[in-house]
Amino acid sequence: MSKRTDEYLSGVPMKPYDLLREILIVLAIIAVIVIVLASVLGSPDYPTVRAQDVANLQPIAYLQTGATILAGNSSIQHYGPPYTEDRNNAQHLFRQAPANWFGVSIPLDPAQDFILKPLARVSVLNGNVTGALEAYQAASTDQQQAWLSAYMAALDNATVIDGQVQIPSGDYGPVPTLMDSMLALGKAGLLEGALDSNVRQPFEYDFTQSLLFFQDDVDGSVAEQLDMSSDQWGVMHETGNYPGAWWLFPYAFLYHVPPMNNSSNADIQAIFIILMVFLFLLFLPVVPIFNRLPRWLRVYKLIWRDWYSRKKSGGSGDP
């Protein structure tokens, strides 16, 4: 150490400590534990929920999702920033809604972006889709809603025969043709590409639309089956029975505490509380009364107990 440092630390009891050795020992122990657990337990990762899997395994749920979005009943429709202009639904705290400060940065019209635009791409290859699209878009809004309402009601009584969805006869207009084309797009594994190909770049990095497509029902159902709904107090689950991100425990805990447990602004309330706790801990050394706790609790005497025992017995106290 420098002369100035020696003078500054003069009279301060010190103990030899090899920090590098300590770090290497801890890293070695952690590496062994991780390798052993990975070898025995394997990966907890659940396969990605793909449109192709939903279309083939749960075609009725796929069609219900598409029809709901086309009818304008998707939760994204009135989500607010950053997707839509509906600012009333933005989470707020103390009459402030941070999401509204930045406005709509990812503009989305679910019916257009999730259904009609992908079908417009398909119509180039399928004349039936072209006619159905023209008929649907030429109809009045009331007529469109009547077709969609009848179609969604029919899906409740639909059956799947040889992979084909059969619905009771009725007046659904061009909606069955549109939805069957969306289903075919999903079965071919092309839905994600049709949703995320708006930006003409060599590689696609924005998967917002494909991730949002099934977020209302399908993803929620999968999360329930995998026990990832976090119904237990302060518990975050990984897929299956694996524990989740322990560092998110404070957030998970707060979602079960009033008023967050029944609040539509739970996210921003939890973030605000965690931010206040973080700032409190950050500035703890200068917070009156609390910065005196170390002297009152005297935990340091446990840490330096060997030095205090020698000093009490009449020794020099030096390590």
Mean pLDDT of 28-42: 89
**Nearest alpha-carbon partner for 126 in 69, 164, 46, 181:** 181
Burial 100-139, CB ≥16 within 10 A → b, else e: beeebeeebebbebbbbbbbeebbeeeeebeebbebbeee
Query: Where is pLDDT greater, at 22 or 203?
Result: 22
Please tell me which of 2-16, 147-161, 191-205, 256-270 the model is most confident about, judged by mean pLDDT: 147-161
Backbone angles phi, psi at 237, to 5 degrees: -105, 140
What's the token pair of residue 243? 């524990």
Task: Check residue 279 and give its pLDDT.
Answer: 95
Is this structure's pTM higher than 0.85?
no
Rounded to whole angstroms, what are the CA distances from 203 to 106, 192, 198, 207, 212? 19, 14, 12, 11, 20
Mean pLDDT is highest, among 63-67, 101-105, 254-258, 309-313, for 63-67
Q: When comparing pLDDT for 205 and 69, which is higher? A: 69
End-to-end CA distance of the chain: 18
**Residue 134 pLDDT exceeds 90:** yes
Q: What is the pLDDT of residue 53?
A: 92
**pLDDT bucket at 154, cuts 50 / 70 / 90:** very high
**Least confident stretch, 46-50, 142-146, 272-276:** 46-50
pLDDT at 66: 94
Question: What pLDDT shows up at residue 315?
Answer: 58
Say how many residues make up the chain: 319
Closest CA to 196 of 290, 255, 121: 121
If one counts every other C-beta atom within 10 angstroms of the C-beta of residue 224, the result is: 11
What is the residue-averaged pLDDT of the chain? Answer: 86
pLDDT at 1: 59
pLDDT tier for residue 319 given thresholds of 50, 70 and 90? very low
Q: Find all residues with CB under 8 Å of 137, minimum gap 6, and list them.
A: 116
Q: In this structure, are residues 236 and 246 in contact, taking their beta carbons and an 8 Å threshold? A: yes
Each residue of 100-128: pLDDT tens digit? 998 898 899 999 999 999 999 888 888 88
Q: Which two tokens stand for residue 30?
A: 């952690």
Mean pLDDT throughout 82-98? 88
Q: What residues have CB less than 8 Å from 117, skipping those under 6 apart?
A: 194, 198
Cβ atoms 60, 158 nearer than 8 A: yes
Looking only at the bridges linking them, the beta strands covering 159-161 and 164-166 are antiparallel
224-271 pLDDT, tens digit per residue, is 887 777 677 777 777 766 777 788 888 888 988 888 888 889 999 999
